[in-house]
Copies of this chain bind each other. A is one copy, B any other.
Amino acid sequence: MRAEIITVGTEILLGDIVNTNSRYLARELALLGIEVYYQGSVGDNEDRLLEAFGESLKRSDLVITTGGLGPTLDDITKEVAAKYFGQKMELNQKSWDEIREFMSKLDKSPTENNKRQAYFPKEATILKNNNGTAPGAIFKKDNKTIIVLPGPPREMVAMFEESVRPYLENLTEDILVSKTLRLYGIGESKLETELLDVIKGQTNPTVAPYASDMEVTLRITAKAKSSEEATKLIGPMEESIRTRVGKYIYGEGDTSLDEVVSKILVEKNLKIAVAESCTGGMVSASLINYPGISSVFMEGLITYSNEAKMERLGVKKETLDKFGAVSEETAIEMAQGVCKKFNTNVGVSTTGVAGPGGGTDEKPVGLVYIGVCINGKTKVKKLNLSGNRFKVRQRAAKEALNELRILLLEL
Contact = CB atoms under 8 A, between A and B. Distances in A.
Interface of A: 11-20, 22-30, 36-43, 45, 48, 52, 55, 208, 210, 274, 276, 278-285, 287-289, 291, 293-294, 297-305, 308, 312, 354-357, 389-390, 393
Contact of A299 (B39, B45, B289, B303): B303
B43 A40 contact: no
Given A276-B281, A301-B301, A38 B36 contact: no
A55 B12 CA distance: 20
Contacts of A274: 302
Contacts of A208: 14, 16
Contacts of A17: 23, 210
A357 B293 CA distance: 12
Contacts of A355: 291
A14 B48 CA distance: 25
A42 B37 contact: yes
Given A280-B281, A285-B285, 4 more contacts: A37-B48, A38-B48, A39-B41, A299-B303
A13 B26 contact: yes
Given A285-B285, A299-B303, A39 B12 contact: yes
Nearest to A29: B15
B285 A279 contact: yes
A55 B291 CA distance: 51
Nearest to A35: B13
Contacts of A55: 55
Contacts of A38: 13, 40-42, 48, 52
Interface of A is mostly: mixed
Contact of A40 (B39, B282, B300): B39
A183 to B, nearest CB: 15
Contact of A302 (B291, B299, B304, B389): B299
A48 B4 CA distance: 13
A277 B356 CA distance: 30
A96 B29 CA distance: 40
A284 B284 CA distance: 10
Q: Of A13, A38, A285, A355, which is in contact with the most chain B CB atoms at under 10 Å from its CB?
A: A285
Given A13-B39, A15-B28, A19-B22, A288 B281 contact: yes
Given A19-B19, A41-B38, A299 B308 contact: yes
30 contacts: A12-B22, A12-B26, A13-B38, A14-B26, A14-B208, A15-B22, A15-B26, A15-B29, A15-B30, A17-B210, A18-B20, A18-B23, A19-B22, A19-B23, A22-B41, A37-B45, A39-B40, A278-B288, A280-B285, A280-B300, A281-B302, A284-B302, A291-B356, A294-B304, A294-B305, A299-B302, A299-B308, A299-B312, A300-B304, A301-B301
